[in-house]
Each structure stands twice: as structure tokens, then as C-alpha cells.
Amino acid sequence: DKGGLQAQSADGKYSFKLGGRVHADATYSNDDKFLDSKGNPSEANDGTYIRRARMRFDGVFDKDWFYRTEADFADDSVAMKDIFIEYRGWNWGTITVGQQKQNFSRELQESSNDLMFMERSLMDVLNTDTVDRAIGLNYQTKGKGLISSNDAWVAKLGIYGDSIKPSRTGTEPENDYAGDEGWAVSSRLTYNPILEKDKLIHLGVAGNYRTPDDTGDVAESKALRYRYRTTNNQSNLTVLDSHDIKDVDNFKMLGLEGAGMYGPFSAGGEYTHTWIERKDGSEDLSFDGWYAEAAWSITGESRSYKEGNFGYLKPKNKFSLKNGHWGAWELATRWSEVNLNDREFRGGQMSQLTVALNWYINENVRFMADYNRNFNFSNPAVTTVGGGDPDALDTFMMRGQVAF
């Protein structure tokens, strides 16, 4: 991408790139006075925040070795994102070592710089704490012409430990019992029967298996917990909460993906199912979630797509007052649901409708406006002030974004 700082050695074998992103948000919620599960007043936070502020170092060494380290500093704290080394000198595929996203869900794989909506869907409640970044070893390979000359596929398989965080407890550990790390295997396969610049069909399937920390005769350091907070980082309003799910022996996840694009129009969806196997007499659990989305590039552009994931909408004409160009405009809508209820277990269930209007100034700057309606509540984590389930929670959000 133009605009980031890039440098290359004369022989082309070494290169380097600095990247970064800023997502500056404002949010407002309507009729948001609730009581939390302890009966305390609870409210979605209205105001401004920095959703992401990242710096990234990228590089290629001796042609075959790629490297990335990216840190997020929003909220005045550090959250390391990608930290990996990748070997690209082998014909049969790419090997990646370090912290990286696990192989699951198109929505999760796509960069927050590129997504059409300010936040991921309700389905992501099942994915964000289970198949997001972890430290591991991944193998990726891809091909063309499997069936016809116009198709393509990508296959990934990885084995993972945990992410950076869970291995430490407290800042002054002194024989804190941390136990051994758990491990996971995940795989994602995508296939495009049709793959052209302005026309494509995307199909995908992914699976994940994880065994949590070895617990022995000592409790696990961190129980599994699924939650939905309105407008993730900003608001403290937890609308859905499974609370701690203990005695987890392992869990399995299945993901299904489908999408299509025809010129400026696109539609797609995903489904995630999670099976949690528990021990010591605790009941097994089964949750699921899904979303369906549709988008229209008002100014006529087709979305970019690469190896199983959609990318940034590049405007045909960059915004310019002088030249009378208005960049690209995009209208998108999404319906998503998540269900954390299973027989007697009441983690809650809800639906969300999102409508988004996006303005792509150029390849680096974008403005977004999102409207979210959360509703169809069953066993949510909040009640109305008078008692009883809320009817709906409406949130309006805006974002200014720079990325390179």
C-alpha cells in the first residue's frame, strides 16, 4: 500500500515496511439504563475513545524470511498482535512460527481495517476468546485450477499453544502455580469455484479442537467464558454473559462460510458451532451463532479479495475537492445471532441488526457510521430498571480511520 514507509535493498532481497493504524470512535446509545445481574445500575457508555492505535514493523530478510511485529497501544496499555517469522522459500507452502491468528472464520481473519462494519458480528462471541491469536506453528498452501482454470483454493493447518496472556498470573509471581499450557489444532479450507476481479464465489469450512490447561488436582487459571459487550472496548455494558464455564475437558468448533460478489454487490454469511466436553460430572454444552450480510458499493467499485478473505474497498477516484471526486461510498447491512442457551444452561441469546454507511477517502483514510439494534433477548445479563428483559438496545457509532 502506498503511504506506509517502505525501503528495499538494491538487490531486492531485503525490504522493510512500517505500518500503523488509528481508529478514533464516538458512540451513543439510546434508552440504555439497565440493571446488571447484581441489581446495580448499568449503562452503555456514551462518548469518545481510541479503539485501536497500532505500530507495526514488517520485513523480509534474504528474500525468503518474512517477519512481523505489531503492537496496540490504545487504552494506554500494550496488546501484542502479530509477532511471527515466516518462511516463504519453499515451493509447497509457507510456514509461520510465532503469535498469529488461528485458522477459523473469515470474519476473524479479515483485518479490522477492512471489515465493512465497525465491530465483528454476534457470532464472534464464540470465536474471539478461542480462535483469535495464539503462539504456534502454521502451514499454508494454495493452488489454482483444481477443477477449471478459473478456480482457486487455500488450505491452512496449525498447532497452537496459548496466546501471550494466560501463562502469567500476577506481576510478582512467586511459585504461582500456572500449570502447563493447553494446545489446539485448527484448519481452514476455502475454495472459489469462480474467482475474477468483479465476480466471485467463496466457500469455506474450518475446524478447531482445543484442550485447555492441564489442571491436575489444581484449578485451571482461567475458565472459559463467552460474553457480548456493546461496542466492544468502549462500553462496559455486558449484555450477554455465560459466566465461568468450568471443568472443560476440551471443545470442538466447526465453521461454515459462504459468500458471493457480482460487481458492486456482495452477500455472505458464516455459521459457528461449538461443542464443549466437560468432566467431573459437569454437563456437556453446545452453542452456536451466525451472521448474514449484504453490501452495495454505491460508487460502483468491487470489493478486493485475496486468498479466502475480503480486503479494503479501493475507491476508483480518491476524494478530492479540487477534482470534484468523492471517493467510494458503501452501504452494508448485517443480521447476526448467538445462542448461549443449552438445555438448563442459560448463557443467554440475542439478535443484532447492523446498518453501515462507509466513506472511503483513499487507500489510507476511511470514515464509518454504524447503527446497531440489539434485540430478541432471552436470558440476557441485564434487566430493565423495572425488571424483565430489555426490549431493544440501539447504539449509534462513528469512526475516523487511518491505516497503512
Q: State how far the Cα of 47 lies from the Cα of 397, in Å rounded to an integer.
A: 10
Residue 350: CB minimum distance to its own copies, A:
16
Report angle CA 368, 370, 372 to the nearest 5 degrees: 165
Q: Which cell numbers in the block locate residue 12?
A: 531486492
Binding mask 7-36 for its own copies (x = CB under 8 A): x-x----x-x-x-x-x-x-x------x--x
Q: Which stretch binds its own copies (CB under 8 A): 91-99, 195-203, 275-283, 350-358?
A: 91-99
331 vs 365 by CB, closer to its own copies: 365
Q: Which stretch binds its own copies (CB under 8 A): 149-157, 212-220, 253-261, 351-359?
A: 212-220
Q: State how far the Cα of 95 lies from the Cα of 88, in Å rounded to an integer.
A: 7
Q: State how far the Cα of 169 lies from the Cα of 389, in Å rounded to an integer.
A: 36
72 vs 247 by CB, closer to its own copies: 72
190 vs 234 by CB, closer to its own copies: 234
Q: Which cell numbers in the block locate residue 301?
A: 467499485
Backbone φ/ψ region at 343: left (φ over 0), alpha (ψ -120 to 50), beta:
left
Three-state DSSP at 124 gives helix
Binding mask 256-295 for its own copies (x = CB under 8 A): ----------------------------------------
Nearest by Cα to 231 from 143, 119, 139, 95: 119
Cell 458471493 sits at which residue? 260
Positions 96 through 155 that interact with its own copies (CB under 8 A): 97-99, 134-136
Positions 31 through 90 that interact with its own copies (CB under 8 A): 33, 36-38, 40-43, 45-50, 53, 55, 57, 59, 61-62, 64-65, 67, 69, 71, 73-80, 83-85, 89-90
236 vs 304 by CB, closer to its own copies: 236
Three-state DSSP at 108 gives helix
Residue of 107, 110, 124, 162 that binds its own copies (CB under 8 A):
162
Residue 44: CB minimum distance to its own copies, A:
9
Residue of 252, 278, 314, 318 that binds its own copies (CB under 8 A):
318
Binding mask 373-402 for its own copies (x = CB under 8 A): --------xx-----------------xxx
Q: State how far the Cα of 210 lies from the Cα of 220, in Å rounded to an integer.
A: 14
Number of residues that bind its own copies (CB under 8 A): 100
Distance from the Cα of residue 230 to its chain's centroid: 15
**309 — phi, psi (to 5°)?**
-135, 145
CB 248 within 8 A of CB 219: no
73 vs 265 by CB, closer to its own copies: 73
Q: Positive or negative, the Cα torsion across 128, 129, 135, 139?
A: negative
Q: Which stretch binds its own copies (CB under 8 A): 210-218, 261-269, 299-307, 329-337?
A: 210-218
165 vs 279 by CB, closer to its own copies: 165
Q: DSSP string of 370-386? A: EEEEEEEEES-SEEETT
**323 binds its own copies per the rule CB under 8 A:** no
Looking at this protein, which amino acid is placed at residue 59?
A: G
